[in-house]
Amino acid sequence: MDETAPDIVKPGLSRPDLEGRSYAPLSCGKTVYLVVLLHGLGVDGDDLIDIAVNWQPSLLKAEFLAMHAPFPFDQGPTGRQWYSVADRSPEKIMEGLRKAEGILNQFLDESLAKRRLDDRHLALVGFSQGAMVALHTGLRRRKIGAIVSFSGALHGAELLPAEIRSRPPVLLIHGNEDQVVPYERMTEAKAALKALDVPVKSMTRKGLGHSIDEVGIAAVGDFLHDSLVPKKAAHDEHDDHDH
């Protein structure tokens, strides 16, 4: 883990190193929705951003932005991590998630302010460790538009009743042959979220390991559109698109 990285990000402190590649809205106009992608362990935002091209036709006014995890991967020569997994005890995992939460929240605050958007127009899409950070942070943040978890898990579910601040639509997608994050983590997360009245849907990808497939990607496009875009706005969005 990067020993020079701050444990707590101070207000107003910019971290330009966290911002990865992005895709601008296909509508060629102002960004109305912001979808932030959070990558998995040992890579960076460039590993995930290109799947967003599949969702652009569903969200013509959305910008898709990849965020790089804040810390260098401490178990390999390259890549990034949201928190260390050298110690996988529940206490250390929660400590790491809370540090990542503070950094991610500041990044989101700055990104939304730059585009003059509020949280309702924000969605988080994460894979693996990035999905865990998305679930942890999104449920504790102000009302956001949607959360998508690919091959993730919900850590600290027992703490959520006291800490939950947002109940956005959540989509959980997981391969039942996942050998990295067991498939059971999805069913556990779904049960915990349903108990807290979070509108949650799940999708099992039979035969899929720790990965993302085309069927899951397609489902996310529809989910993001339905979660973020009001019905009238959805009609208007297609009417004023001139490509």
* Environment class of 3 (CB within 10 Å of its CB; exposed 0-12, middle 13-18, buried 19+): exposed
- Which of 74, 119, 202, 210 is labelled catalytic? 210
The C-alpha atoms of residue 10 and residue 30 are separated, in whole angstroms, by 29
Candidates 107, 122, 231; CA nearest to 169 is 122
Residue 144 to residues 40, 137, 229, Cα–Cα distance (Å): 22, 10, 13
Neighbours of 63 (CB within 10 A): 21
Q: Cα Rg for the chain, rounded, in angstroms? A: 17
Phi, psi angles (nearest 5°) of residue 160: -60, -40
Catalytic entry in 111, 149, 178, 227 = 178
Answer yes or no: 210 catalytic: yes
Beta strands in 132-190 (DSSP E): 146-150, 170-175
Write down the number of H helices and E strands in the chain. 6, 9
Cα separation, 216 vs 200, in Å, equals 15
Instruction: Based on the residue annotation, tell me whether 7 is a catalytic residue of this protein.
Output: no
- Annotated active-site residue 128? The verdict is yes
Q: Which of 128, 149, 151, 227 is catalytic?
A: 128
The rounded distance, in Å, linking the Cα atoms of 226 and 215 is 17
| Residue keyed to tokens 């898990």 | 153
* Residues catalogued as catalytic: 128, 178, 210
